[in-house]
Amino acid sequence: MKTENIGLVGVGRMGANMARRLRDRGWTLSAVCDSKFKSAQALAKEVGARAVRTPAEVAAASGSVLTVVSDDAAMREIFQEGPKGLLCHAQGRLFINCATVSPDVHREIERAAKRLGALSLEACMASSIPQAREGSLYLMTGGSAKALQRARPILEDLSCSMRHIGPAGSAATVKALVNLVMNINTAALAEGLGLGAALGLDGTMLREVFSQTGAASRVLTTDGEDMQNREHSCFFSAAHAAKDTRIALELATALGLDLPLATATLGQFRRMITLGLGDLDKSGIAELTFPGRAAQPRVSPAAPRRIRSKAKR
């Protein structure tokens, strides 16, 4: 039996697909809100929920609230104690926070929730949109045993694998490291394939050789073909990759660690933003390293227009 009404704050593609999955699994979706009200309305209609204007209304209508917003500022905004914020109706609620944000934000929110009689759990997602829809996310949790216990039935319907990392903030820390390595590997792959293209090698052959050798990686599987074909429909944007890489670098800097690869990778994703390519998928970093693409307009001025946007596998 599904004992909680679930609310959603943040109707991006991840949040929307998690809501669809939960509805499919028999949960009642109570209320959804988003800074774009039309997005909230569309999803609400689809999953049988109510679209509301404020996080406070979501909390008022729900036992558990999933939050899937974009960054630290958005998290602090929705978790206000004022009349519009989630913490305005905190007593007895469970907040499950799925955004990739700084570890400190998770700790702040857990403290505030506790003070107001609510539970808070971080549930970092190390997967993408298709996995959200299919309930096969890889989830890392951080928070109290009590919050985890209450969230478990919901999270089990969203994930194929859950790993409890430790206290609030710890999952975000691990997620930052996952994304750091993923982003660097993505930038690396773009350099290898880009240089291969410049040397006149066949990209399909090169990817096949990479897959059999020490160059193999998860991002080769997820992004390699897209880099070759300029298929950069956004599943994880370059702007997000820049943000995550920056979070990890700030952690490193605070500890006095010098991470030159992370620094170079942040530089590349920032360069994409500067070139107006920040909304492309992270695979779009290939636009910087393949000959005749976006970063080299004098070689091929029409190149960026050829970027395609069909659905990703």
Residue 143 touches a copy of itself, criterion: CB under 8 A: no
Read off the DSSP letter of residue 29. E
Q: Which of 72, 60, 164 is nearest to 122 (CA)?
A: 164
Neighbouring CB atoms inside 10 A of 171's CB total 28
Residue 301 touches a copy of itself, criterion: CB under 8 A: no
Query: Binder to a copy of itself among 60, 116, 148, 259 (CB under 8 A)?
Result: 259
Residue 91 touches a copy of itself, criterion: CB under 8 A: no
Residue 151 touches a copy of itself, criterion: CB under 8 A: no
**Any idea which residue has 């570890």 for tokens?**
103
DSSP 112-136: HHHHTT-EEEEEEE-S-HHHHHHT-
Residue 7 touches a copy of itself, criterion: CB under 8 A: no
Binding track, positions 187-226, relative to a copy of itself; x by CB under 8 A: xxx-xx-xxx-xx-x---xx-xxx-xxxxxxxx--x----
Nearer to a copy of itself, 51 or 187 (CB): 187
Residue 67 touches a copy of itself, criterion: CB under 8 A: no
Beta bridge partners of 33: 9
Query: Binder to a copy of itself among 59, 99, 174, 277 (CB under 8 A)?
Result: 174
89 vs 57: CA distance, rounded Å: 8
**Are residues 95 and 67 in contact, defined by beta-carbon separation less than 8 angstroms?**
yes
Read off the DSSP letter of residue 141. E
Residue 138 touches a copy of itself, criterion: CB under 8 A: yes
Beta bridge partners of 179: none
- Residues of this chain that interact with a copy of itself (CB under 8 A) are 126-127, 138, 140, 161, 163, 165, 170, 173-174, 177-182, 184-185, 187-189, 191-192, 194-196, 198-199, 201, 205-206, 208-210, 212-219, 222, 248, 251-252, 255, 257, 259-265, 267-268, 289, 291
